[in-house]
């Protein structure tokens, strides 16, 4: 039961942060879903960093890892919103923007997981 509560609290916080980022960025740049992109990229970097630290030292407790990865970062990143926004862009005939959204979300998320892992190595001095 405690695991569910830990994940739920993390998910609440992550979802609120994603909502605020999307509200701010998508309102400022209405032609591209930058809020979702930034949420996904930040979550990718942070999960890479967390897993990198854990791999090197094993110093992240189970509840902390659940709170951060499944909860906070699960709430922050959003594949379903990314998918819906991309479909809407295609439906509106914005094929180049939709394709860019796909490439940026997938490409940058993968790159930022790797950067997070490398940053963890740098921080830990390896």
pLDDT in tens, 58-97: 788 889 999 999 999 999 998 888 999 999 999 999 999 9
pLDDT in tens, 21-49: 999 998 899 899 999 999 999 999 999 99
Q: What is the pLDDT of residue 120?
A: 94
Q: What is the pLDDT of residue 76?
A: 95
Q: What is the pLDDT of residue 9?
A: 97
pTM equals: 0.87
Residue 113 host element (H or E): helix 95-124
Instruction: Give me the helix-helix angle, 95-124 and 79-91, nearest 10°.
Output: 160
């Amino acid at each position: 039961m405690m695991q569910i509560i830990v994940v739920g609290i993390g998910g609440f916080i992550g979802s609120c942060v994603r909502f605020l980022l999307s509200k701010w960025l998508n309102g400022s740049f209405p032609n591209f879903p930058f809020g979702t992109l930034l949420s996904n990229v930040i979550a990718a970097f942070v999960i890479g960093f967390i897993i990198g630290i854990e791999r090197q030292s094993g110093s992240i407790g189970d509840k902390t890892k659940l709170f951060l990865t499944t909860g906070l970062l699960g709430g922050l990143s959003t594949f379903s919103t990314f998918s819906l926004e991309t479909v809407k862009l295609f439906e509106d005939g914005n094929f180049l923007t939709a394709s860019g959204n796909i490439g940026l979300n997938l490409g940058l998320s993968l790159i930022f997981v790797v950067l997070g892992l490398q940053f963890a190595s740098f921080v830990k001095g390896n």
